[in-house]
Amino acid sequence: MCGICCVVTLCSQHATHDFFNEDILCHLRRRGPDSSQQLIKTVPDLSYECLFSGHVLHLRGLVTPQPLEDANSNIFLWNGEIFNGVHVGDLENDTEVMFHHLALCSSEEEMLSLFSSVRGPWSFIYYQASRHVLWFGRDYFGRRSLLWQFSNEVNSAFCLTSVSVYSESGHQWQEVPASGIFKIDLKACTATKSWSLTLFPWKYSCTEKAVEEIFIHVLDQVSKDLPNHIRVVMNESKLCLRAPVIPLNKTISEASGQCPGTNISNITHTVSVETLQDFLAEEHKKKLVCQFIDILNEAVKRRVLSLFRAEDQETREVPSMSNRKAHIAVLFSGGVDSMVLAALADKHVPLEEPIDLLNVAFMLKEQAKQKGTSKNRTSREVQLDPLCSQASCQDLDAKTRARFSCFDVPDRITGRAGLKELEAINPSRTWNFVEINVTPQELKKIRQQRITHLIYPLDTVLDDSIGCAIWFASRGEGFISNQGELKPYRSPAKVVLTGIGADEQLAGYSRHRVCFKKYGFEGLNKELEMELDRISSRNLGRDDRIIGDHGKEARFPFLDEDVVSFLNSLPILEKADLTLPRGIGEKLLLRLAAKEFGLTASAILPKRAVQFGSRIAKLESNSEKASDTCSRLKSFSVDEL
């Protein structure tokens, strides 16, 4: 995880520092706490100037400060992880590896081939000095944030950054579309005193007709929200990046005869673990589930082992359990997505290393009102209310534990139940169930100070609810149980696994059932195809900015390219059967996988979105719609920053 930023000016009268916001610099440093530096490239002959700002979170190989510059004055900023496709040695840093490969590219085709081969999340900025060209872009799913801003003045500045700052006035930021890779010819732009972007889009097929259709569609999507004076054009050679996944299989009838759903319809009105066992008794289904487990297992393995573990370098002796710190955390509700990720992580994280299970809860509204109106509260009670997020809290007695019942939201209850299942699977592992509790007062304060800026430029009620829940969860500050007592704890894990992508591919959301009832399997296929197409703008840029604010890196096993290709290869009925009840039909394949490697009650828990499971949605107006613009994200005091 890194924070990367680039500012370019085309006019010698404007210095890049004039457009580099100090508040943005602060946000970037939080993303990359291990190294921060800047580099300014001035080209007097062409009257343009570039500022590059790099902020590194060290996770692999040696600490590699950014931006990198080579002997030919090429400059590189990289916010990504290479999990496959390009070889990165155990002691190598992927930023250096990518920069080395880029320097060897002698043509646009070779550069596109390089980025097409990378498996893993990335965003990048690359300045090619000899050609006066700036390249930038995001991976196919948009798993790493990148924003852009164009000044209203035609000959002024262009800015790219991982994270920005919300402003009610001035120039607006937008997410760089994850539509492909962009190129800016700075020499040509300087000559015309205008900005022109060349796009190299992602594609599935090589047919001429398909490429033409892609160009028309993508150009329209990219151009529609840009200022009128910004041109976006397709590259003259009609070159494309190869999509890292296969297209969605939209066949419907192929698997229907092989799916036992119709055969057991009479017994599925009562959802039970035995129902899953009935599916697994069928040979074809069992084989399919085992294939899925193997592929998802490899995805999790790559994400929990691609990490620098300092203590392993210091001694070959295994430290005592009590002295080990967690390197891996899971955003954990006890639902099937997070349970599967935790169980698979357990197979690969060294046994002596704890795994942190981050479980967030927002104070139930009724208790919040009672506490706010109580006249007999002591200052000590006031201090404890935010669940003692301050490390100064002392050990908590039974009475204090009882007072925490106001945080017993649905995800807390299922999380504790999930913990017991994981402890049964591997009692030798230290499972740190981190109870992260948030009061309305703390929520309001942190939303204004930090979260508003991280969610921006998104602005809906849904973005607010999910963004706030993920921010507090990924911070990892709460309590863990130690010999029956709750003690303050802050997760040191730099890698946070999240289950995003499971619902989008396996029909996990309630809207998928609505769509299925209206339009059948054909309509559901179209809905699932749209889910992945929009996941970059709907979820991933926001989640990357939110989690990265803690100097942590979000990793998405369900969006591993091999996992997505496997799921895309299957007909819909092999993945989900929405003729079956909630808790079985949605994410059926994942539930069967959970049952196969030992999970029980969590395998049949119905989907519950984080905003409802954590109860943050209950703190706000019941009349709000998820798609409404959220006023809470727009009303704050700059003085509080």
Q: Return the DSSP state at 205.
A: -
Secondary structure (DSSP) of 585-635: STTHHHHHHHHHTT--GGGGPPP--HHHHS--GGGS-TT--TTSB-GGGT-
Contact 123, 138 (CB under 8 A): yes
CB atoms within 10 A of CB 640: 8
* Nearest Cα to Cα of residue 468 among 506, 505, 440: 440
Alpha-carbon span 247 to 530, nearest angstrom: 12
Q: Which of 2, 5, 388, 468 is catalytic?
A: 2
**Strand-pair category, 48-56 with 35-43:** antiparallel
**Phi, psi (degrees; rounded to nearest 5) at 286:** -60, -45
Structure tokens at 572: 């819909």
Secondary structure (DSSP) of 137-203: EE-TT--S--EEEE-SSTTSEEEEES-----SSSPPPEEPPTTEEEEEEHHHHHHHTS-EEEEEEEE
* Nearest Cα to Cα of residue 87 among 350, 306, 345: 306
* Nearest Cα to Cα of residue 475 among 388, 552, 406, 414: 552
Secondary structure (DSSP) of 362-398: E--HHHHHHHHH-S---HHHHHHTTT--STTPPPB-H
- H/E element holding 354? none
**Catalytic residue check, 2:** yes
- H/E element holding 231? strand 231-234
- H/E element holding 350? none
Residues 410, 413, 614, 558, Cα dihedral to 10°: -100
Looking at the DSSP bridge assignments, the partners of residue 122 are 80
Catalytic residues: 2
